[in-house]
Amino acid sequence: MPDEQSFHMTPDEFRRHGHAVVDWIADYQSRIESFPVLSQAKPGEIRASLPVNPPAQGEPFDALLKDVEKLILPGVTHWQSPNFFAYFPCNASGPGILGDLLSSGLGVQGMLWSTSPACTELETHVLDWLVSMLGLPDKFLSSSSGGGVIQDTASSAALCALLAARERATNYISNQTGSDGRVVAYASTQTHSSLQKAAMIAGIGISNLRLIEVDEKFAMRPDALARQIEADRRAGLVPCFVCATVGTTSSNAMDPIDEIGRVCRENNLWLHVDAAMSGTAALCPEFRHLQNGLEFADSYNFNPHKWMFTNFDCNCFWVADRKALIQTLSILPEYLRNQATESGAVIDYRDWHIQLGRRFRSLKLWFVIRHYGVEGLQYHIRRHVQLAQTFAHWVREDDNFELAAPVPLNLVCFRHKGGDAANQTIMERLNRSGDLFLTHTKLDGKMTLRLCVGQTHTETRHVENAWKRIREEAEKVPA
């Protein structure tokens, strides 16, 4: 045997480079406003700057960090910029980043309770905390019939809910024999596209996901839902699931959970409530009325990785009856058998989602909640809502602009009165300028601009500047 060699980073090297990386991140945060918010890179440009072949010999760490600065940063859209108003927030924070780093440092794979009891138990505990922090029904507590689990995304949560609903409605037969094409599910025309993907993956089929019409506020119409369920039953189909949304992606519309819930209860359908972004607002009691009716929900989810300062990815998903979820997703090969599982005294989260392996995500959530405290989180959410409401007020007061939808929280849908082409031009010019980033949707068939306030460090001056820049670009648009 030749002498043993090691190419690994030693603990001392790790300490030194780790400090450099943390310094780099802190500097990045301080200078983030100097970058164009939307990356100005052309397709293929970043790849073309990278070496064709991987290095045969390892390189010094300093070279890696230099290349991040030189080669990678130009291709980064700065989601953490306070001038990022596009899509929905994906905010992060110091405690979130450090919690994530610790999770990497521990390198735990928490598929079973026994593969790291703390990974499971901290997660259960933090999700129970959140039930009371958000004013959710007690049935979602782990000490009740339900419980919560951290998923990667709201898309995965919706898929799990749909699978459990399908199984409950078919007496757990579909898992054995496959879906027979008669199972139907319901969402609104405004529901996030992840529900269509879930219908594809769950074998329900996109045409068996009924998209229910919405009212003038873009919220699902419970009467139309009830009629469609009735028609499907008469046609011999098996309705199983409804997804209601608290804060749709396009316009932040609020489906009436209470009325939809009653329809679900009468028809014995699984009600899943998707509050991906807006669920965070429930930290503040004054916004909880937006999700009245959660007592009817079989499952609920929101993304701390959107608006609760917890860096991507982190989705919190609760079910009212954990048995239905576990019976749907549980599978136990010999090599995973262990005494703790057999005892029935522990939670094995591998039975609560699609994948087997899982990161220690609850660490970052725990850090965020402990760092800010409930009051700190409430303060920042209220500030974001206030800023969006102020922006909506400016739009209302300006003769050249109009609001395109109600503004319940932190998303403002608005448009210049000059028509689609004018709005398109305004948006493209703003985004090309790098000063801010906003995106669009279509409401009532018209191009609509969206300004979403939710970045960690967005303050009054950023929203003021956004409005100033929007009006400047609007003035250049031909009448």
Ligand X SMILES: Cc1ncc(COP(=O)(O)O)c(C=O)c1O
Q: Two tokens at 126?
A: 């933090």
Q: Is 318 in the site for ligand X (CB under 6 A)?
A: no
Count of beta carbons in the 10 Å neighbourhood of residue 51: 8
* Nearest distance in Å: CB 125, ligand X: 23
Residue type, 5: Q
Strands (E), 19-69: none
Residue choice 274, 321, 348, 473 for contact with ligand X (CB under 6 A): 274
* Nearest distance in Å: CB 160, ligand X: 12
Q: Is 315 in the site for ligand X (CB under 6 A)?
A: yes
* Nearest distance in Å: CB 195, ligand X: 8
Kindly identify the residues of this chain, within the stretch 285-304, that bind ligand X according to CB under 6 A. 303
Give the end-to-end CA distance of the chain in Å, rounded to a whole number. Answer: 81
* Nearest distance in Å: CB 249, ligand X: 3
For residues 327 and 347, what is the distance between their CA atoms, to the nearest angstrom? 13
Count of beta carbons in the 10 Å neighbourhood of residue 414: 22
**Given the rule CB under 6 A, which of 17-25, 93-101, 274-282, 325-333 is the region that contacts ligand X?**
274-282
Residues 6+ apart with CB under 8 A from 212: 186, 187, 188, 189, 220, 221, 224, 225, 228
* Nearest distance in Å: CB 453, ligand X: 15
**Given the rule CB under 6 A, which of 242-250, 287-295, 334-342, 462-470 is the region that contacts ligand X?**
242-250
Q: Is 221 in the site for ligand X (CB under 6 A)?
A: no
Q: Is 353 in the site for ligand X (CB under 6 A)?
A: no
In the three-class reduction of DSSP (H, G, I as helix; E, B as strand; rest coil), residue 214 is classed as strand
Is the CB of 110 or the CB of 454 nearer to ligand X?
454
Q: Is 83 in the site for ligand X (CB under 6 A)?
A: no
For residues 250 and 187, what is the distance between their CA atoms, to the nearest angstrom? 14
Q: Is 88 in the site for ligand X (CB under 6 A)?
A: yes
For residues 228 and 63, what is the distance between their CA atoms, to the nearest angstrom? 61
Q: Is 277 in the site for ligand X (CB under 6 A)?
A: yes
Q: Is 252 in the site for ligand X (CB under 6 A)?
A: no
In the three-class reduction of DSSP (H, G, I as helix; E, B as strand; rest coil), residue 300 is classed as strand
Q: Is 249 in the site for ligand X (CB under 6 A)?
A: yes
Count of chain residues binding ligand X (CB under 6 A): 14
List the 315-319 sheet strands across, edge first: 147-151, 315-319, 299-302, 270-274, 238-245, 183-188, 209-212
Kindly identify the residues of this chain, within the stretch 189-208, that bind ligand X according to CB under 6 A. 192, 194
Kindly identify the residues of this chain, within the stretch 146-165, that bind ligand X according to CB under 6 A. 153-155
- Interaction site with ligand X (CB under 6 A): 88, 153-155, 192, 194, 245, 248-249, 274, 276-277, 303, 315
